[in-house]
Chains A and B, each alone.
Chain A
C-alpha cells in the first residue's frame, strides 16, 4: 500500500489484537489488524456490528488499550506512553467525533469547543478566537451561545466536529458520525468532512452505510476482527470522490 521511502504515516498499526473477558467468555474483537494511514487520506472503515470496527476506533483514539500489537501515531509508539502523555496525545494529535455527539450538557457550544484548548493550556483570548473560527468552519457562527439541548442533532454533531478540529489534530476520528442523524443533517456533516479532507486533513471514519463510505478515498472492510477488503476509491492527494463528482 505505502512505498517504503514515503514519510512516516499518520497511523501505523501492526498485529493489533483485542480480547474481552476471560476463559470461556473470552471474545476476540480484533484478530491481528495491520494498517497504515497516510497523511491526507480519507478512510472509511466498514463492517457489520460486532465486526470490531468500534473497538479498532477506540484504540486508534487512545481511549482503549490493545491486548497486543503496536500502534504508532505520527511515529510515536502509543503503547510506551504513560497516562499523562496519553492525555496530551488525545488533546493535541487526535480529534474524536462520537456517534452520540457527547457534548457536555449545560455548557454553551462555544464553551464545549473551547474545552480541549482549556486542557491544552491555551490562553483565554486565543482560545476564544480559535473556537469561533472552528464554529464558523462548521457553519454555526449564529449558535455559539446555545447549549446542547437547544441545538438539533445535526447542529450538535457539527459542534462536536468543531471541537474535534479546534486543536488542529493530525488525525480526525469519527465513530459513525451520521448514525444518529436524519438525511439533511447527514448531508451537512459529510459535506464538512469532505471539505476538511480537501484541505488536507487526515480522516478515519466508521460507518455501516455505503452512502457514507462512498465519500471516502479508501474503504476498509472488517469482518470478525480481520480486514477482508482494502479498496482505494480516489488518490491520497486529491479531492474526495463525491466532491470530484459534483
Chain B
C-alpha cells in the first residue's frame, strides 16, 4: 500500500468538504497565530522596558537615605542595644566609598544633591527645572547621560565651584527655542550659570520627563542653591555588570560601619540597577507566559475542533469505510487516511497561522514593537501538528477498528 495513495485519499476527503475543512483550519490558524503574536508582544514589551531601565545607567547603584531604619525604635529587629540616630548621607560617606582597598569593585562615586523646582530664566523666558542636579563629572557616565552639544564640566570646575551647567533638551527648548545655548548665561533662582553643554535626548520614562534636567558641579549647587547639608543620593558605578552585586556588598559594609548599623535596618537604601532589571524581567516574563497561556487555550480549542470534525467525518463516512474494508483495505490504510486528514488540517492551519503571525509582527500593536521569538514559532507549529495527531487518532482509530459489516450496515 503506497503512502502516496493514502495521502491522495486524505486530500480527496478534505476537498470533498471545502468549507468545513477551511473552518476547522481557521481554528488552528487563530490558535497558532495568537500564540506567536502574543508571545512576540510580550517579548517586545519586555525588551522596551529593559531598554528604559538600561537608559537609567549601566551597572549603577543608587544610594539614598532611608528614614525608616537607623535611629528608629528598631521594633521589628527587637534590638535593645544603644542605637545611633539615623544619619543622612554625607560627602564623607561618598569619599569613603572611593577607597580602592575596601571597595575594589567600585569604579566611580558621584555624590548628588537635588535642588528641585528651581526656576531658570534666560532673557524673558523662564522655566521651572524639574531636577537640578549638583554632582561630579563621573555622574554623566554612571547614569548614561551623554552630551550632544558642547562639553561636560570637569573636575577643575568642581574644585573651583564654577557656575557652569549642562542642560537637558526640554530646558533648552523652553529657554532658548532654536537658538544655540552654549556659552550663554541662565540665571537659576537669581544665580547666573554658564551653559557648557546640552544632554542627548533621553525621552520620557513613564511620568517623568528625563530631559527636564540641569546638571552642575556639586559645590556650585551647594553654595548657591541647596546649602552644604546632606546629599540627596550617591550614585556608585561598578567596574562591570558582574561586579555590581559585589560592589553592593562592599558599599553596604562601608556604610554600615560608618553609620554604626548592626541590625538589619540600615538608614539608607541601595537601588541596584541589575536587581531592578532582574525583577522587571521576571515580571515581564510572567506576563509573557500569561499571554502565551491564553493563546495556548485557543490552540487547544482549535484542536478540539479538529476532533469534533473528524468524529463527524468518520460517522458520516462509516459506510464508505465499510466499503473500503469490504474490498480489502487494511486497517493501517484506513487509520493512515483519517490520521493524515487530521494532520493535514492542523498542519495547513499551523503554517498559515505562522504566516499571519509573521505579517502581524511587522506592525506595532498598542505601541509595542512585537519581537518574534523563534522558539514560539517552532513550539506553536509543533503543537499544532501534535494536536492533529493526538486529537485525530481517536476518530481515526474508531474508523479503523470498525468491522466491515458494522460499517456497511450503518445508515
Which positions in A face B, CB cutoff 8 Å? 58, 61-65, 83-84, 87-92, 96, 98, 102-107, 115-116, 118-121, 163, 167
Contact = CB atoms under 8 A, between A and B. Distances in A.
Contacts of A163: 327
Contacts of A62: 404
Given A103-B323, A118-B2, 7 more contacts: A63-B325, A63-B404, A87-B331, A90-B325, A90-B327, A115-B327, A118-B5
Contacts of B19: none
B124 interface: no
Interface in B332-348: 332-333
Nearest to A89: B328
A63 B326 contact: yes
A91 B331 contact: no
A115 B324 contact: yes
A63 B5 contact: no
A92 B329 CA distance: 11
B77 interface: no
Contact of A87 (B5, B12, B322, B325): B325
29 contacts: A64-B403, A64-B405, A83-B331, A84-B332, A87-B329, A87-B330, A87-B331, A90-B325, A90-B326, A90-B404, A91-B328, A91-B329, A96-B326, A96-B327, A98-B326, A102-B322, A102-B323, A103-B323, A104-B320, A104-B324, A115-B327, A116-B327, A116-B328, A118-B1, A118-B2, A119-B333, A121-B1, A163-B327, A167-B328
B121 to A, nearest CB: 87
B202 to A, nearest CB: 68
Interface in B309-326: 319-320, 322-326
B16 interface: yes
B5 A84 contact: no
B300 interface: no
B9 to A, nearest CB: 8
A103 B322 CA distance: 11
Interface of B: 1-2, 5, 12, 16, 319-320, 322-333, 403-405, 408
Nearest to A103: B323
A88 to B, nearest CB: 7
A61 B326 contact: yes
B328 A92 contact: yes
B330 A88 contact: yes
Contacts of B1: 118-119, 121
A58 B407 CA distance: 13
Contacts of B12: 106-107
Contacts of B329: 87, 91, 119
B328 A102 contact: no
